[in-house]
Amino acid sequence: MEYTTLGRTGLKASVAGLGCGGNARLGLQRGKSEAEAVALVQRGLDLGVNLLDGAAAYKTEHVIGKAVKGYDRDKLILTTKCNPAAAGELRPVEDIVESLDNSLRELGQDYVDVFFFHAVHPKHYAEVRDRIAPVLQREQEKGKFRFLGVTETPPNDPIQEMGSQAAQDGIWDVMMIGFHMLNQTPRVRMLPHIIKNNIGTLAMFVVRNIFSVPGRLQEEIQGKIDEGKLPEWLAKEKDPLGFLIHEAGAQNLIDAAYRYARHEPGCDVILFGTSSIDHLEANIDSILRPPLPEVDRKRLNELFGDVEGMGLDVPERKKAG
């Protein structure tokens, strides 16, 4: 495993971080047992993953709590999140504090390393920053969490307006940003500010359905062609990203996606989710591999560098089993 400094927090984080929500929810969303989910987390820990990204909404914090028993807490980075809004309206701040307290109970911890405001919509951002965050900072002073963060909601904010503003504000120690090789908006709108202000970053949306569900890539490319954002010849390509797969390049699209984001300046930790140990090991292997060949990276940037809001689907909600 490789480690990096998570911005101004000074925390030493594994470059691969295990996301405990998403489509898989550590396998619970795919019918796996709690014991299997615990074993999955522990396999990640044994491979050197030390950042576990949780949230109240994921309903997996009890699994994280069981999995980390017996591991050195000082070497772990545990996060949690609470959405400050419900049904389109901001929640009472007391509810957010209670969510934090409940997450600590579920995790079996006295504190988390980062507390995030989860999926903040642009229309709510200023009030979260100016009114709600100061209340949570008082909880921080009580020792309930070490650093304050904010996460985007890219599917509901395709130009990533909120993240752009948050990256310029001085309040956030860590940000979770939506970035992948066909959604490069953060490179212009956020990452320069993030680097300047030494904000730690967790990159989410690095692998989405656009790379793993057959037909989804072609469908989204056609949509952007219809909008005049991509050249028409791409629609005629049976394998539009096939140029990435070659002996000196990526093994497959998933491998390419992880490697592309991992080596982007300003992206500290690459989050991945999974429901299987084999998948977990493959993801970590890709994240630890060298950058894509420069010629491939340049072609990606030339084709998709100006495209906004591509491949930002929300996690599916499938019933377990």
Domain layout of the chain by residue ranges:
3-214+255-291
Contact indicator for 217, 293 with CB cutoff of 8 Å: no
- Tally of CA atoms within 13 A in the half-sphere of 144 that contains its CB: 22
Ranges of residues in the chain whose predicted pLDDT is under 70: 315-321
| The domain defined by 3-214+255-291 carries CATH number 3.20.20.100 | yes
pLDDT of the residue at 319: 40
What is the enclosing helix (H) or strand (E) of 304? helix 294-304
Predicted pLDDT at 321:
34
**pLDDT tens track for 50-92:** 999 999 999 999 999 999 999 999 999 999 999 999 999 999 9
What is the distance, to the nearest Å, from the Cα of residue 253 to the centroid of all Cα atoms in its chain? 18
Confidence at residue 317, expressed as pLDDT on a 0 to 100 scale = 47
Give the CA angle between residues 38, 40, 46 to the nearest 5°.
100
pLDDT of residue 316: 56
Distance CA 181, CA 167 (A): 20
